[in-house]
Amino acid sequence: MTKKTVKKYKLTDVPRVGKTAGDLVQGMQRHFLRSLGLSHDSSADHYKYQALALTIRDRLMECWKDTKESTHADDNRRAYYLSLEFLMGRSLSNAILNLGLDHETEQALYALGLDLEALQSEEMDAGLGNGGLGRLAACFVDSCATLKLPVTGYGIRYEYGMFRQVIKDGQQVEEPDHWLRGANIWEVERSEYTQKIHFGGHTETYFNEHGVSRCRWVNTQDVLAVPFDTPIPGYKNGVVNTLRLWKSSATDEFDLGEFNAGSYPESVAAKNDAEHISMVLYPNDSSENGKELRLRQQYFLASASIQDVMRQWVEKYGQDFTHFAARNCFQLNDTHPTVSVAELMRLLMDEYRLSWDEAWAITSKTMAYTNHTLLPEALERWSVGLFSKLLPRLMDIIFEINARFLSDVAKKWPGDTERQRRMSIIEEGDVKQVRMAYLAIVGSFSVNGVAQLHSDLLVEGLFADFYALWPEKFNNKTNGVTQRRWMAMCNKSMSALITEKIGDGWVTDLQQLRGLAPFAEDAAFRKSWAACKLENKRRLIALVEKECQVTFPEDSMFDIQVKRIHEYKRQLLNVLHVIHLYDRIKRGHAHNWTPRAVLIGGKAAPGYYMAKRIIKLINNVAEVINNDPDVGDKLKLVFFPNYRVSAMEVIAPAADLSEQISTAGKEASGTGNMKFMMNGALTIGTLDGANIEIREEVGDENFFLFGLTAAEVEQTHGHYNPNAIIDRDEDLRRVMHLIESGHFSQFEPGSFSCISNAVRSAHDPWLVAADFRSYVDAQEQVAESFQDQEKWQRMSILNTAYSGKFSTDRTMHEYNDNIWKLKPVSL
């Protein structure tokens, strides 16, 4: 054949891949042999998981291509979610669900004699986050894809995610999470979009050819940022968005000049520094201040992501930035990526020659900031010294932003120097500090909290001065969770029952769950509802048996608190209640008893001493209770090790009671509370974060409220006397005595004195003693309600029925309507 007569093909003209069960079987067979090189049917489940994952991935790829082509072709506005954390968990089951391949996959695996659950559990969690803020980012990108919004997630591809928690001798021990060992099926390296990031060096001013003074950043140490893309499928809509995670890598231009030929190995080894930037996630969820590597990570993400967006802009529109702000929006997930404000200024001025005013007009219309904390001590600060050393050019820009900002403040409040001092981005003092939250507010057109109470408290408290200056910037966006993962995927039996009654519209329109409310009065429905819960409880029983060697009785109330271990979240209050129940059983005050199985899980920041003591206390109390024959099935307590996304997928569907017991005014929102509610758990909670809105939706008769309000908490300041409270309350006195007498620390005397001291301290900010009585009384109500199972199931159904507000689909609609203003992708 001559070349001329050969039919021509394009690499990109690939026939569409089939989606029947038979196609999936063939896909798996092909990948098993041709991609994985396997021939033995007896190979480990891990390979079978990989074959299935590759087969499902094939079905994502073409939608991914279509989505990219569509957004590339239009001139529509886009948003970028910048976050140091994306707590994605597993991807396989989510991809199967969102592609609408549930049924076909089940059939294909049946034909192959394989078990879906076994294969799914082979996938490592992508644990690239600490907790709420990281998981929120994951739910957001799911909802954006489902709403067809052109939103790209930008983050860091940590080699090691959140540590694995093992419990040894009742104590937390951290083990490294090398999650990328054994290949990550879901990522695609895109080295052609590598960016260069600068650190160190110094700045120089010079005059350009027009005699204009300009700045350059020289003598820097450079690091490469290599992108890895993960597909984010929307629910049955053909959209696949992108999560782009950056890996750090050394440049090959390492400085041989500094070394003689004999030091070649040393100069290669120096590459290590660069490659460490994306090595590990910081495992604390309230800021650990001042760590240089953390600031490197933050700038690495900000600079790589913004350069990536500008690269795409310049490729498409050239160096004209007139419409840049109209077409681009960066959402900052807390202050962690806030150096972006200064980085966008730098790129526009130093690389693209814009004036300060032009650059500022763009930057301050492009950035939007979400705050996730009310604790003043958790607000991020960086010392000016460290900042100047690591990022001198950005420090200069921040000083200039601050100078111009303070002159505006002076114009509005002439002579009010105290106010200028309070509002300054630079905190004066022994060590000057950059206040990142203030930089974020000054540099953004939108600032939001994550629940109504939180947003209200921000403008009344931490950000009051800024609210007085720019009231129009501040808004609320109550958090949510994706019902795809947190109901449809993890609670199949309940989902099927719901769909049978009201259809499957709720999967993309959660308010439709309201249609369930009338069925609360239907006895047969309540029976089916209870049967689903029981099935889910059996799954959790098996898991708890495996992880904790404790058997939860299936008819006991599953009382659950899972979240990071923090004093403000008050796991300690939970334990005090459990000790109180134990004490009652021992005293023979257990008539009409409601059996309870209490599960507490969560990770403590490795350096957080009190949090680690609380874990130890929980384990010691569990040891005593679970082995006391007087207690038997009346009460069980476990500390669930290594709490993570995939564990929550088993825990939430099995819960009867959701513990949301933070000191009022301290939990910004909470999102676990929403997952439990959707899965039919009742909440015992304070008036804190989104609990308030949960109670508003479900009605106070279906919610167990206790505790001081945020305003009352504020008022206790200066006159709190926990010892008087303990003296007056016999139950609390007995509980404190059990702890202080060493009943739970027989071989470790004094081991919990820090805990009892904290409860007795007049300066206890978390007011554990203050809320004890009202908590125990509310728990008594809970126990009584659980005895009337008909009533309980009715309340459970209504919790699910009124959880519609807490979908991230609603949250993303609100971000889009008020902040991003994006048009859906047309496919």
Judged by CB under 6 A, the stretch of 2-10, 203-211, 372-380, 387-395 that binds ligand 26Q is 372-380
Annotated active-site residue 569? The verdict is: yes
Closer by beta carbon to ligand 26Q, 85 or else 649: 85
Is residue 294 part of the contact set for ligand 26Q (CB under 6 A)? yes
Name the nearest CA neighbour of 600 among 544, 649, 516, 677.
544
CA distance 479 to 224: 34
The one catalytic residue among 569, 577, 613, 666: 569
CA distance 263 to 342: 37
Closer by beta carbon to ligand 26Q, 130 or else 242: 130
Radius of gyration of the chain (CA): 28
The least CB distance from residue 524 to ligand 26Q, in Å, is 37
Instruction: Return the amino acid letter for 653.
Output: P
What burial class does residue 657 get, using C-beta atoms within 10 Å of its C-beta: 0-12 exposed, 13-18 middle, 19+ buried? buried
Is residue 479 part of the contact set for ligand 26Q (CB under 6 A)? yes
Judged by CB under 6 A, the stretch of 102-110, 286-294, 735-743, 756-764 that binds ligand 26Q is 286-294
The one catalytic residue among 482, 671, 683, 686: 671
Please report the beta strands in 3-95, taking only residues with DSSP state E, as ranges in sequence order. Answer: 78-82, 86-89
The one catalytic residue among 148, 372, 537, 805: 372
Is residue 136 part of the contact set for ligand 26Q (CB under 6 A)? yes
The least CB distance from residue 377 to ligand 26Q, in Å, is 11
* Cβ–Cβ under 8 Å, residues 405 and 364: no
Is residue 162 part of the contact set for ligand 26Q (CB under 6 A)? no
CA distance 80 to 744: 50
Closer by beta carbon to ligand 26Q, 450 or else 795: 450
CB atoms within 10 A of CB 711: 10
Closer by beta carbon to ligand 26Q, 88 or else 550: 88
Closer by beta carbon to ligand 26Q, 142 or else 308: 142
Name the nearest CA neighbour of 345 among 321, 375, 380.
321
Indicate the residue whose CB is closest to ligand 26Q: 132
The one catalytic residue among 675, 683, 794, 811: 675
Is residue 456 part of the contact set for ligand 26Q (CB under 6 A)? no
Of 446, 669, 702, 779, which one interacts with ligand 26Q (CB under 6 A)? 669
Closer by beta carbon to ligand 26Q, 380 or else 649: 380
Structure tokens at 94: 């989510």
Of 244, 346, 372, 435, which one interacts with ligand 26Q (CB under 6 A)? 372
Structure tokens at 359: 């650059």
Can you give the three-state secondary structure of 677-744, one letter per residue? HHCCCEEEECCCCCHHHHHHHHCHHHCEECCCCHHHHHHCCCCCCHHHHHHHCHHHHHHHHHHHCCCC
CA distance 233 to 808: 15
Instruction: Spell out the alpha helix ranges (H) of 217-329.
Output: 264-269, 271-275, 292-317, 324-327
Of 27, 89, 127, 131, which one interacts with ligand 26Q (CB under 6 A)? 131
Structure tokens at 170: 């009742």
**28-37: string of b/e by CB count within 10 Å (b at 16+)?**
beebbeeebe
| DSSP state letter for 371 | -
Judged by CB under 6 A, the stretch of 190-198, 237-245, 524-532, 665-673 that binds ligand 26Q is 665-673
The least CB distance from residue 226 to ligand 26Q, in Å, is 23
Closer by beta carbon to ligand 26Q, 242 or else 671: 671
Is residue 693 part of the contact set for ligand 26Q (CB under 6 A)? no
Compute how many residues bind ligand 26Q; rule: CB under 6 A. 23
* Cβ–Cβ under 8 Å, residues 450 and 478: yes
The least CB distance from residue 111 to ligand 26Q, in Å, is 42
Is residue 285 part of the contact set for ligand 26Q (CB under 6 A)? yes
The least CB distance from residue 228 to ligand 26Q, in Å, is 21
Is residue 95 part of the contact set for ligand 26Q (CB under 6 A)? no
Annotated active-site residue 675? The verdict is: yes
Annotated active-site residue 48? The verdict is: no
CA dihedral for 484, 487, 488, 489, sign (positive or negative): positive
Annotated active-site residue 148? The verdict is: no
> Which residues of this chain interact with ligand 26Q, rule CB under 6 A?
130-133, 136, 282, 284-288, 294, 372-373, 380, 450, 479, 667-671, 689
| Catalytic residue IDs | 372, 563-564, 569, 671, 675
